[in-house]
Amino acid sequence: MEAFEWIVALLTLTGLEIVLGIDNLVMITILTEKLPKNARSKARRVGLILALIGRVIFLSTAVWLTKLTTVLFVLSGNEVSIRDIVLASGGVALLIKATLEIASFVEAHETIASQQVHPAKQFWGVIIQIFFFDFLFSLDSVLTAIGLTQQLPIMVLSVMVAIVIMIVFVNKISDFVEHNPAIRLLALAFLILIGVLLIAEGFGSHVDRSYVYFAMCFSLAIELLNRRRQKKVNQKKNGTS
């Protein structure tokens, strides 16, 4: 492979990993909110480092991963593979998790059970959830990466670069979401949409995820404009009072 083709492949896969990692960052933000403030940053870093290790392992077993798309049986005319089962099951888990988080957010209370859990158990419980959902989110991106190039070094390097970028920005993104209730609710709604898409893909109905990303970015832009307007209104009121 020529140097130019190598660079193009690396940039393409890195961009893909970053875009597909948005939902992972949102999930990490939601999960770590349950932890004490002094443990959140550590949990995010540990979760992303484990995610990096997991993705490298997935890429190293490329031959095994391609077998996930092998048809196991046919259900109502739809071919079902291990990948479909994993996506549908994960989509249901994500849908339930996001729905419960929205219910907790609307009721404006923390669950008593989570407050009674030992800090260490709570910390590693969050880490396990981060790893599980990262596996779910990374499954498609890893399979796509294998389809784009067979060069393992390029795939591994792209994942490493993407994860490093996530580690750099995850605290800023998480802090922003935590301090803005409307953004947090929007993020949970985004996870519900992703869960529905995963279930649909598990049943053989592929929907381009870029539509959801566009809707998310559009809604975020509207919310930011609304916040800017509210800030201007408050400044004018304070100036005239």
For 50-63, write each residue's pLDDT tens digit.
888 877 777 777 65
**How does residue 111 score in pLDDT terms, banded at 50, 70 and 90?**
very low
**How does residue 69 score in pLDDT terms, banded at 50, 70 and 90?**
low
Query: Quick one: tokens of 170?
Result: 């995850």
Nearest-10 Cα torsion for 49, 55, 59, 62? 150
- How high is the pLDDT of residue 51? 80
> Of the candidates 2, 9, 3, 7, which has an alpha carbon nearest to the alpha carbon of residue 146?
9
Beta bridge partners of 74: 79
Query: Quick one: tokens of 65?
Result: 């991963």
Give the percent of the chain with pLDDT over 90. 0
Which has more confidence, 149 or 45? Answer: 45
Burial class, 90, CB count within 10 angstroms (exposed 0-12 / middle 13-18 / buried 19+): buried
Query: Quick one: tokens of 187?
Result: 């993020």
- How high is the pLDDT of residue 45? 87
Q: Residue 113 pLDDT > 50, yes or no?
A: no
The single residue listed with the structure tokens 């709604």 is 189
What gap in Å lies between CA 208 and CA 230, rounded to an integer?
A: 34
The single residue listed with the structure tokens 């929205």 is 102
Q: Residue 66 pLDDT > 70, yes or no?
A: no
Burial class, 237, CB count within 10 angstroms (exposed 0-12 / middle 13-18 / buried 19+): exposed
State pTM to two decimals.
0.71
Query: Quick one: tokens of 183?
Result: 């953004």
